[in-house]
Amino acid sequence: MRRKGGLKKISGPAKYGAMDGFSLQGLRAMLFDFEGTLVPFEWNIAEAVSEVHEMLGGLGIPAERLQGRSYSALLTEGSAMAHEYGHSPQEVRRRIEKIYDGYDEDALRRWRLRPGARALLDRLKEEGLKTGLVTNVGRKGILKGLAKLSLEKSFEAVVTRNDVRIPKPRGEGIGRALEILQVKKDEAVHVGDSLDDIRAARDSGVSVILFRPAGVREAADFGAVKPDFEINSFEAWVASL
């Protein structure tokens, strides 16, 4: 097992900045988001949200009460409202999950691993780090995706939206991954591309690296919620380790 020294250790909140201040020293695990991070974002959010609104409306649940909610919030808030309108929250959540499963399958056809992602995962293994996946994609879709990309053995922990009560931006999924990997929050870092990832990491108490490829909005657009570090290329990151 090797550790590269000489750089700043991530053992708590770090100053937001470039990866030249990052080190694997002190880390035991690295967690990853999937869509938008390891693969480009291919999920059709607008259509999925519209279909959920239509389904809820058909049950007499007024979709206007959920206008502006993210697709992840719809999953929890939509099902939470069900009881008010004479429906089982579990059944409404199952229906939303089924809709989302269809969009997972649609995105699956277009998923391609980002350049350098496989090399990074391999390097982390060489360094003795555990790896986990924390995603709002459903379990059926993510297992098919990992098989398609030949990543079935790349993660010791896989936590999906089906495995938590509240998905990202809550930190429940990250916390569950840490439990599976048996590492402490100050021994791990989460890598993701979205505000939901940053918030989930903050909620769970782990450091966070924002993956922001060229052409994607600046981290400053996220307002007061900032990552600890930012990267825009897995290939460059691997070369620096």
pLDDT, tens digit, 9 for 90 and up, residues 176-197: 999 999 999 999 999 999 999 9
pLDDT at 214: 72
Tokens, residue 102: 């269809």
| 3-state secondary structure (DSSP) of residue 66 | helix
Q: Quick one: residue 209, left, alpha or beta (phi over 0 = left, psi -120 to 50 = alpha)? A: beta
More confident of the two residues 2 and 221: 221
pLDDT at 149: 98
- The model's pLDDT over 21-47, given as tens digits with 9 standing for 90+, comes to 677 888 999 999 999 999 999 999 999
Helix (H) or strand (E) holding 132, with range, is strand 130-134
- The model's pLDDT over 158-170, given as tens digits with 9 standing for 90+, comes to 999 999 999 999 9
The proportion of the chain whose per-residue pLDDT surpasses 90, expressed as a percent, equals: 76
Average pLDDT over residues 78-89: 93
Q: Is the pLDDT of residue 14 over 70?
A: no
Among candidate residues 77, 45, 46, the one with its CA nearest the CA of residue 62: 77
pLDDT confidence tier of residue 63, bands split at 50, 70 and 90: confident
Among candidate residues 10, 24, 16, 20, the one with its CA nearest the CA of residue 129: 24
Identify the CATH homologous superfamily for domain 19-41+112-240. Answer: HAD superfamily/HAD-like (3.40.50.1000)
pLDDT at 213: 84
Q: Are 209 and 191 in contact (CB under 8 A)?
A: yes
Mean pLDDT is lowest, of 40-49, 106-115, 122-131, 214-223, for 214-223
Task: Report how far residue 36's alpha carbon sits from residue 34's, in angstroms, rounded to the nearest whole number.
Answer: 6
pLDDT at 46: 94
- Mean pLDDT of the residues in the chain: 89
